[in-house]
Amino acid sequence: MQTIAFRLIKGIMLLPATADGQEGYFAFDTGAMQTAVNRAYFPELQGDTIEIAKFTEGVKKTNAEEGMLTTLNVAGIAREQLPVLLMDLMYVEKELKTVDPEIRFLGTMGIDVIRDYTVLLDYEKQEIVLDTEVPDFAAQREAHMRLEKLPIIPVEIGGETMDFVLDTGASVCLLGERFRTMPGLTPVPDMPNVMTIPELKVAGMPYANLTAVLSDITPIQKKVPVEGVVGYQVLSAQRSMLDFRGQWLLLEE
């Protein structure tokens, strides 16, 4: 068992890290298929260019390079010769600097690393506990969390059950364009691609008035068969356990 304290800035969990001699922070991001580094801090890394999709105010296609980190240590989670994506992540650092002007955002630790653990998330204490025993929840709800290229859970909106990516790096929900005409969802004034979900349920647990961005999610759907993405707004409401080995999500009641 390993307990890791994290910083929470704008809904993003940040863990202290060192990577190839650079010191800073990595995001804890189950919505990233592969660990990625901020190209600005690793100019010596080079590789083949590939096309990927990223979620920032909608889904956007972008290019990344494939590279190899010699050493990575994220709060005691250590890897050597780790394949990574090289990306321009300064847009993330810019947002984080509005809270901490001195922060150095080195990258995101993705599901390629996180899937090796069971993960207990406690946003109130701002702690992650890895490989803990079954938590001492007085009562809990359980949802099957199948692990394909990303973790996928069933959610319910408007009486309809559908599959969503469970993304610890998503500060708001992401919905496909088909939700634009779904009855009950409320448009946010002066923000044409943002809506409020009056109620979303996970394992029968209700979550009220969640903010969601609408976007063409085809690039995500080419990787995993989902209708959207859910993350911080659900996971921060209670302690949660992500059991990637047993493929279960446990939510404390």
pLDDT at 173: 96
pLDDT at 172: 94
Fold for the domain defined by 135-252: Cathepsin D, subunit A; domain 1 (2.40.70)
Residues 209-244 pLDDT 10s: 999 999 999 888 988 999 999 999 999 999 999 999
Q: Which residues, at least 6 apart from 89, have a Cβ–Cβ distance to it below 8 Å?
A: 36, 37, 38, 39, 40, 105, 107, 108
Residues 69-97 pLDDT 10s: 999 999 999 999 999 999 999 999 999 99
pLDDT at 240: 96
Quote the CA–CA distance of 244 and 146 in Å, as a whole number: 8
Residues 153-190 pLDDT 10s: 999 999 999 999 999 999 999 999 999 999 999 999 99
pTM: 0.90
Confidence label for 140 from pLDDT (cuts 50, 70 and 90): very high
pLDDT at 210: 97
3-state helix, strand, coil in the chain (%, to 5): 10, 55, 35
Burial class of residue 207 (count of CB atoms within 10 Å of its CB; 0-12, 13-18, 19+)? middle
Q: What percent of the chain has pLDDT over 70?
A: 93
pLDDT at 34: 94
Residue 139 above 60 pLDDT? Answer: yes
Fold match, 2-119 / 135-252: yes
pLDDT at 132: 76
Task: Write down the CATH number for the domain with range 2-119.
Answer: 2.40.70.10
Cβ atoms of 176 and 164 within 8 Å: the answer is: no
Least confident of 33-42, 89-98, 130-139: 130-139
Closest listed residue to residue 10, CA positions, set 191, 206, 176, 231: 231
Residue 62 above 80 pLDDT? Answer: no
Closest listed residue to residue 74, CA positions, set 36, 126, 118: 36
Quote the CA–CA distance of 195 and 180 in Å, as a whole number: 8
How confident is the prediction for the chain on average, in pLDDT?
92
Residue 53 above 80 pLDDT? Answer: no
Least confident of 52-56, 193-197, 247-251: 52-56
Domain borders along the chain are: 2-119, 135-252
Quote the CA–CA distance of 185 and 193 in Å, as a whole number: 12
pLDDT at 46: 78
Over range 111-139, report the average pLDDT: 91
Quote the CA–CA distance of 195 and 182 in Å, as a whole number: 11
Quote the CA–CA distance of 168 and 20 in Å, as a whole number: 25
Q: How far is CA 44 from CA 22, 86, 91, 108, 252, in A?
A: 12, 11, 20, 18, 45
Q: Tokens representing 153? A: 């859970």
